[in-house]
Amino acid sequence: LAIWEQWQEWQPCSRTCGAGTRIRKGICQSGINCTKGEPILDIQLCNGNSCGTSGELS
């Protein structure tokens, strides 16, 4: 297992409505599956709100 630390804040969602993604970065501290100092991206789904016909939240 790897130990990931030094997580940055989540970046804003890639979309204001409709499904998008947001990303944060971390650094490997130790573990079998990573090299110390190796960066990683954590990706999460965000903004599941549907878009109105004008592209605004409905």
**CATH assignment at residue 40:** 2.20.100
Residue 53 domain-assigned (yes or no): no
Domain count, the chain: 1
Higher pLDDT, 19 or 57: 19
CA distances to 7, 15, 58 from 11, in Å: 11, 11, 23
Average pLDDT over residues 36-44: 92
Residue 52 domain-assigned (yes or no): no
Confidence label for 47 from pLDDT (cuts 50, 70 and 90)? confident
Residue 57 domain-assigned (yes or no): no
Average pLDDT over residues 5-13: 93
The label of the residue with tokens 């998008």 reads 20
Domain containing 17 equals: 2-46
- pLDDT tens, residue by residue, 14-35: 998 888 999 999 999 888 888 8
pTM comes to 0.65
Phi, psi of 45 (to 5 degrees): -70, 145
Residue 58 has a pLDDT of 47
